[in-house]
């Protein structure tokens, strides 16, 4: 991070703008919005800047810049078209330890003026660190569509009742849960729809509720994180990830996805891999239960979908027995996510009218599958965790009548930058895996549809 984003209180603080053109006027306008006392130094003014002077919004010193004009200002902005003058402003500000921003010259800036979305009291600032102001403005424009002006009224409503909520709820966790219930429920809905009075009345009723039992109650969120690409998370998954007090995650959850979890949440790794378990499944079940019983909101973040070879059912079974509230949020399972990114449709009118998901995990060194059901015409078979047992998988399928030249594919770490796809046949697949040594997690896809990879690969063509 090149710059620390901060918000400075400039109310009635002296600020200096050097330059009288339109750029200087825009920068002075930002300072005025922040209620600063602005002085402009310039020998001449553009029409836009002069209008600000004529309106009495700022003070104009009709002169060229001189370092004696730098006194005890809070901020200084240099916005002339003369590089020598801008450099002089920078040196004069540095000599007095005053923060300075020089237009279009990040190397001489102590701070960057971000592209601002103003929904006061909600302010969103987007910066590219000076590398691409146009990109920052484009991002702000997108945020304009996501954050309507009514959020300003919502922010004001919260501000009015902040002290009252603080007085009623002594615990920070209670206050946070109360406000989350306000901002994600009817109060926010009414305010964003323009029903301000009803929104305030609903908030008052909620504040007057003597019980507020939900503010102390623990809950578990069983959330599917998808196959790896953070953009495949659902909106609900993201919302619950931002509410969690503690997060239990496995090895298939990427660091990019973990970075989206609430920053204050405690992260606990409970990952498992072949022949080694960080925490046994029974212990995970108990950990979820114990933390929920402490009143915490517990996020169990699992790669893929928690109900497809994710042992999600086992985990919530324990919670159900103890009457612990829980939610299950499905994720994009590896079969659909990895196949889509590999350009392999799991069903296709010309090749496959059914699809079967199986686990290739070994049990005491053996694969126990219904082999006859897997050797069916016009069917796609997707094998999770199939690398270790790939020789047995190939041998058994061939022994039960599958054609030796049946197309098959390996998809390594699908949907991520490490994705790689190999297409071969079911008979040659073990030797291919031995040679290429694909990294886990790798999905095995068997069926005629894998032939479509070469034409339909879009994510990382050729890989």
DSSP 263-301: TTSEEEE--EETTEESS-HHHHHHHHHHHHHTT-EEEEE
Is residue 271 annotated as involved in ligand binding?
Answer: no
3-state secondary structure at position 14: strand
What span, in angstroms and rounded, lies between the C-alpha atoms of 397 and 373?
Answer: 10
What span, in angstroms and rounded, lies between the C-alpha atoms of 389 and 404?
Answer: 18
Is residue 107 annotated as involved in ligand binding?
Answer: no
What span, in angstroms and rounded, lies between the C-alpha atoms of 223 and 375?
Answer: 33
Cβ proximity of 245 and 223 under 8 Å = no
Residue 246 has a pLDDT of 97
3-state secondary structure at position 103: coil
What span, in angstroms and rounded, lies between the C-alpha atoms of 1 and 13?
Answer: 28
3-state secondary structure at position 405: coil
DSSP letter at 9?
-
Cβ proximity of 140 and 115 under 8 Å = yes
Is residue 80 annotated as involved in ligand binding?
Answer: no
Backbone phi, then psi, for 276, in 5-degree steps?
A: -155, 125
Cβ proximity of 371 and 400 under 8 Å = yes
What span, in angstroms and rounded, lies between the C-alpha atoms of 173 and 176?
Answer: 5
Q: Of these residues, 37, 168, 206, 272, which one is catalytic?
A: 272
Is residue 148 annotated as involved in ligand binding?
Answer: no
Residue 460 has a pLDDT of 79
Angle between helices 281-293 and 312-321 (to 10 degrees): 40
Residue 156 has a pLDDT of 96
Is residue 39 annotated as involved in ligand binding?
Answer: no
Distance of CA 463 to the CA centre of its chain: 27
Backbone phi, then psi, for 177, in 5-degree steps?
A: -70, -40
What span, in angstroms and rounded, lies between the C-alpha atoms of 343 and 345?
Answer: 6
Is residue 185 annotated as involved in ligand binding?
Answer: no
Look up 405 and say whether it is catalytic.
no
* Nearest alpha carbon to residue 384 among 396, 399, 401, 367: 367
Look up 196 and say whether it is catalytic.
no
Residue 448 has a pLDDT of 97
Reported as half-sphere exposure (CB side, CA atoms, 13 A), residue 326 has a value of 27
What span, in angstroms and rounded, lies between the C-alpha atoms of 68 and 188?
Answer: 52
Q: Which domains does the chain have, with CATH numbers?
A: 14-113 (3.40.50.720), 151-212 (1.10.8), 219-332 (3.40.1010.10), 338-456 (3.30.950.10)
Is residue 333 annotated as involved in ligand binding?
Answer: yes
Helical H runs in 147-234? 151-168, 172-183, 186-192, 196-208
Residue 370 has a pLDDT of 95
What span, in angstroms and rounded, lies between the C-alpha atoms of 191 and 204?
Answer: 14
Low-confidence ranges of the chain (pLDDT < 70): 214, 272-278, 462-463
Q: Of these residues, 27, 229, 245, 250, which one is catalytic?
A: 250
- C-alpha distances out from residue 30 to 17, 23, 117, 184, Å: 11, 11, 12, 32
């Amino acid at each position: 991070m090149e710059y620390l984003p901060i918000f400075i209180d400039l109310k009635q603080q002296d600020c200096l703008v050097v330059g009288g053109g339109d750029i200087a006027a825009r920068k002075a306008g930002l300072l005025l919005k922040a209620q600063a006392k602005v002085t402009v130094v310039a020998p001449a003014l553009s029409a836009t800047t002069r209008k600000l002077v004529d309106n009495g919004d700022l003070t104009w010193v009709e002169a060229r810049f001189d370092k004696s004009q730098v006194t005890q200002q809070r901020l200084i902005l240099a916005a002339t078209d003369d590089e020598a003058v801008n450099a002089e402003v920078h040196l004069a500000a540095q000599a007095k330890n005053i923060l300075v921003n020089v237009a279009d010259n990040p190397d001489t800036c102590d701070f960057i003026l971000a592209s601002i979305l103003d929904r006061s009291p909600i302010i969103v600032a987007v910066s590219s660190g000076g590398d691409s102001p146009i990109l920052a403005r484009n991002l702000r424009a997108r945020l304009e569509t996501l954050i309507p002006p009514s959020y300003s009224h919502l922010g004001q409503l919260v501000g009015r009742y902040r002290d009252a909520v603080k007085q009623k709820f002594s615990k920070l966790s209670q206050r946070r849960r109360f406000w989350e219930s306000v901002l994600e429920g009817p109060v926010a809905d009414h305010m964003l729809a323009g029903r301000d009075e009803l929104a305030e009345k609903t908030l008052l009723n909620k504040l007057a509720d003597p019980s507020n039992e939900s503010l102390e109650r623990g809950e578990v969120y069983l959330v599917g994180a998808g196959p790896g690409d953070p953009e495949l998370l659902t909106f609900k998954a993201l919302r619950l990830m931002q509410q969690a007090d503690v997060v239990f995650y496995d090895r298939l959850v990427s660091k990019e996805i973990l970075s989206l979890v609430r920053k204050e949440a405690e992260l606990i790794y409970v990952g498992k891999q072949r022949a080694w378990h960080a925490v046994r499944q029974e212990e995970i079940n108990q950990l979820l239960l114990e933390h929920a019983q402490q009143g915490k909101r517990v996020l169990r973040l699992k790669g893929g979908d928690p109900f497809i070879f994710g042992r999600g059912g086992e985990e919530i079974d324990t919670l159900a027995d103890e009457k612990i509230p829980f939610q299950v949020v499905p994720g994009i399972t590896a079969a659909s996510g990895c196949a889509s990114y590999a350009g392999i449709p799991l069903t296709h009118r010309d090749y496959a009218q059914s699809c079967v998901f199986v686990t290739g995990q070994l049990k005491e060194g053996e694969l126990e599958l219904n082999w006859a059901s897997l050797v069916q015409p016009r069917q796609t078979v997707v094998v999770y965790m199939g690398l270790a047992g790939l020789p047995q998988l190939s041998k058994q399928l061939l022994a039960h009548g599958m054609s030796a030249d049946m197309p098959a594919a390996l998809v390594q770490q699908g949907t991520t930058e490490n994705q790689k796809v190999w297409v071969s046949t079911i008979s040659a697949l073990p030797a291919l895996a031995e040679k290429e040594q694909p990294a886990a997690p790798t999905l095995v896809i068997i069926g005629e549809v894998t032939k479509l990879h070469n034409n339909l690969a879009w994510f990382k063509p050729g890989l």
